[in-house]
Amino acid sequence: MIISVTNMTKLYKIPIIKHVAKRINLLLGCDIPTTVTLGNNVEFIHNMVGGAIHQSSIIGDNVRIFQGVTIGIGRVYSEPDKKKCEGCIIEDGAVLCAGAKILCNEGRLVVGRKSVIAANAVLLNSTGPGEIWGGVPAKLIGHIEEGE
């Protein structure tokens, strides 16, 4: 088995070695807590170097996450027990391009099925299915045609 973030996260499902796999991911340059729910065929492109995922996040099947992506809390100035973010849901087939920031302020932020978050975008709102979001803060800039 090649040592990669994608392969190490597959080991999160094995209780006896999941914490070792998490530490290897930290050495590879990304922070993915063992409490993150990961779907099938999640790919961490370029080992997601410099990336971090909030502990309550849910990542669907066939999601692609590039380097430098952050999935987390937007209101870092709040007291820890008063934070209102419950985590993020990245639905099946979504693509989070290099440097994208997915920041939840309240409730659950959802990146819709087969949506694309552009490189270096700062997403503060949920998206619908098949949408393309880009910019700071991110805005809807397009739609993916069915079948793409």
pLDDT band for 1, please (50, 70, 90 cuts). Answer: low
pLDDT score of 25: 87
Q: How many domains does the chain have?
A: 1
User: Which range of residues forms the domain containing residue 90?
Assistant: 33-141
What mean pLDDT comes out for the span 116-123?
A: 98
Q: Distance (Å, rounded) from C-alpha 14 to C-alpha 19?
A: 9
Q: Is residue 77 part of a domain?
A: yes
For β-strands 131-134 and 139-143, DSSP reports them as: antiparallel
Name the more confident of 101 and 3: 101
pLDDT of 133 > 70? The answer is yes
pLDDT of residue 6: 84
Confidence of residue 10 (pLDDT cuts 50, 70, 90): confident
Give the span between the Cα atoms of 16 and 63, in whole angstroms: 26
Look at residue 28 and tell me if it is in a domain. Answer: no
- pTM (two decimals): 0.90
Domain assignment of residue 146, yes or no: no
Q: Does residue 88 have a pLDDT over 80?
A: yes
Structural domain includes residue 24: no
Distance separating alpha carbons of residues 132 and 70, to the nearest angstrom: 18
CA nearest 59: which of 28, 32, 99, 26? 32
CATH number of domain containing 48:
2.160.10.10
10 domain residue, yes or no: no
Q: Is residue 52 pLDDT above 80, yes or no?
A: yes
